Amino acid sequence: VRAPPSNVAWRTVSDPGRRLPADALDELRAIVGDDHVLVDAERLVPMSTDWTGRFVGRAAAAVRPASTGEVAAVVGWARRRGAALMTQGGNTGLVGGATPLHGEVLVSTSRLNSVTVVDMASMQVTVGAGVTIEAVQQHAERAGLRYPIDFAARATATVGGSIATNAGGVNFVRFGGTREQLLGVEAVLGTGEVINDLRGLRKDNTGFHLASLLCGSEGTLAVVTGATLRLVPRPAAVLTALVGFDSAHSAIAAGHLWVARSTRIEALELMRADGVGLVCEQFALPTPLRAAAYLLVEVAGERDLDEELHELVECTDGVTGSAVAADESARRRLWRYREDHTLAINRLGPPLKFDITLPGAEMQPFVDSIASQVRGVDDEANTWIFGHLGDGNLHVNVHATTDAAGRIESLVFTEVSRRGGSISAEHGIGVAKRAFLHLRRSPAELAWMGRVRAAFDPDGVLNPHVLLPHE
Ligand code: MLT
Ligand code: ZN
């Protein structure tokens, strides 16, 4: 593995020096209680830095409301005081969408952690926004069901954050993203009004589906305080296979073939030898089968999974070997090669993170050419490519020298746009991509998003500096 360039730390560091006057803090304390207004640097610094370390801001304060009523009061306070709020869940986002670069007051959802009994008749559960994805998964499992959203940050990422970004994850290919699981929300709008539809009716054509609108709105329209989520049956068996290929070309072609042939694929992830090598090096893992590229594929169902996998692999060109795991710990071991990519890459320094979707036919030419195009801009750059092949979603991470970062962003986003893709598949726009949103959204769409935002949040108190480009 090539060493990272010496200067990989392309970062946005900002301390607007905004502090709240004593009477404003007292008003917040009266709403959420003395212990839940945080002002000390020790508490605020970690909350003001994003997971990658690329975005470093400084919150004016952080509040931890314990109920929807308290959130509404905090929003009312912000409107009176002309303060900007920024909602924060597990702080695992990757686009700076929850990093207070402008001295915002953080609204932590950590105390919005209620969990109701699983409704078995309707296969759903209602939880507070601060409940982690892993807690929802475990709660569903105890009831014999499953919450089908899953990704590596599961232990820290929250339901509220996953709704804000419409998080996708590794099972999107089978179950869709967060929006597909979202039956209803409770939320405080920027007006301070509360909407509450946690009745969980799956079929309900009674006008606008506001939960869907809030999903992916990155905290700009409302603070989501709770949600009703769809659960699915647990499969009797799951089989995970790591399949090696002689080239990325063969792996991508195989992935497309498999998705067209099988109804039981629940995850289909692409990796390359350099990424797997980095993971092995960083976490002292044994090298799995040697290959130029890999697919991690998971099939689930009631029976004959071995046969299914065997048939898929048999009908495929370019396979160099495979490892199959059926029990939980062996499956977890295989997943580490994929899930630890993000951590391993970050250990080399904060990368430029691209999270793109491409039309199926464009994936191969893009994968073939992007690293050399990036090198054309910065000959020290390292480009890592992995991701959710089954969804057409690639994660392209680039370690670049500081001077080249802006040009690399323009290059990659323009290339994605030229090929008919999206500049964000599942991480959202945040601050990292807002200047490029016009590559995906038309002027009319941007204008309407602005109008919708103004209707929900007329005073611009909710995440005013994320998602939409500056006027
Ligand atoms: C993943 O799929 O691992 C995540 O989206 C994180 C990443 O892109 O680094
Ligand atoms: Zn991902």
Tell me: the pLDDT tens digits for 272-305?
Answer: 999 999 999 999 999 999 999 999 999 999 888 9
The 3-state DSSP class for residue 215 equals: coil
Helix (H) / strand (E) element for 342: namely: helix 341-347
Choice from 149, 151, 348, 394 to test ligand 1 binding pocket (greatest atom count within 8 A of CB): 151
Pairing outcome for strands 12-13 and 55-56: parallel
Distance 275 CA to ligand 1 centre (A): 13
Q: Where are the alpha helices (DSSP H) in 156-247?
A: 159-165, 172-175, 178-181, 210-214
Distance 102 CA to ligand 2 centre (A): 27
Distance 130 CA to ligand 1 centre (A): 21
**What atom in ligand 1 is closest to the CA of residue 339?**
3
466 token code pair: 């994320």
Report pLDDT for 471: 61
Distance 366 CA to ligand 2 centre (A): 18
* Predicted confidence (pLDDT) per residue in 38-52, tens digit: 999 999 999 999 999
Per-10-residue mean pLDDT for the chain, 471 residues long? Answer: 47 87 98 98 96 94 98 98 98 97 98 98 98 98 98 98 98 98 98 97 95 98 98 96 98 97 96 98 96 98 92 94 95 98 95 97 98 96 97 96 92 98 98 96 97 98 94 61
Amino acid in the structure at residue 465: H
Choice from 383, 395, 396 to test ligand 1 binding pocket (greatest atom count within 8 A of CB): 395
CA 230 to chain CA centroid, Å, is 19
Residue carrying the six token digits 């009797």: 236
15 token code pair: 């301390």
Pairwise CA distance, residues 182 & 311, whole Å: 35
Q: Which ligand has an atom closest to residue 94 CA?
A: 1
Pairwise CA distance, residues 126 & 456, whole Å: 24
Distance 93 CA to ligand 1 centre (A): 10
Distance 41 CA to ligand 1 centre (A): 29
393 token code pair: 């979603």
**pTM for this prediction:** 0.96
Pairwise CA distance, residues 388 & 269, whole Å: 5
Pairing outcome for strands 194-196 and 232-233: unpaired
* Predicted confidence (pLDDT) per residue in 226-262, tens digit: 999 999 999 999 999 999 999 999 999 999 999 999 9
Output 417-423 pairs: Cβ under 8 A, ≥24 positions apart: 419/358, 419/359, 419/362, 419/365, 419/366, 420/358, 420/359, 420/362, 421/356, 421/357, 421/358, 421/359, 421/362, 421/366, 421/392, 422/356, 422/357, 423/354, 423/356
Choice from 94, 339, 354, 424 to test ligand 1 binding pocket (greatest atom count within 8 A of CB): 94
Report pLDDT for 1: 40
Residues with CB under 6 A from ligand 1: 151-152, 342, 355, 395
| DSSP codes joined into one string, 416-429 | HHHTT-BSBSSS--
Q: Which ligand has an atom closest to residue 351 CA?
A: 1
Report pLDDT for 195: 98
Report pLDDT for 126: 98
Q: Which ligand has an atom closest to residue 51 CA?
A: 1
CA 389 to chain CA centroid, Å, is 16
Q: For 81, phi and psi rounded to 5 degrees?
A: -90, -10
Report pLDDT for 470: 73
CA 239 to chain CA centroid, Å, is 25
Distance 167 CA to ligand 2 centre (A): 9
Question: Atom 8 (ligand 1): residue with closest C-alpha?
Answer: 395
Pairwise CA distance, residues 461 & 464, whole Å: 6
Q: Which ligand has an atom closest to residue 92 CA?
A: 1
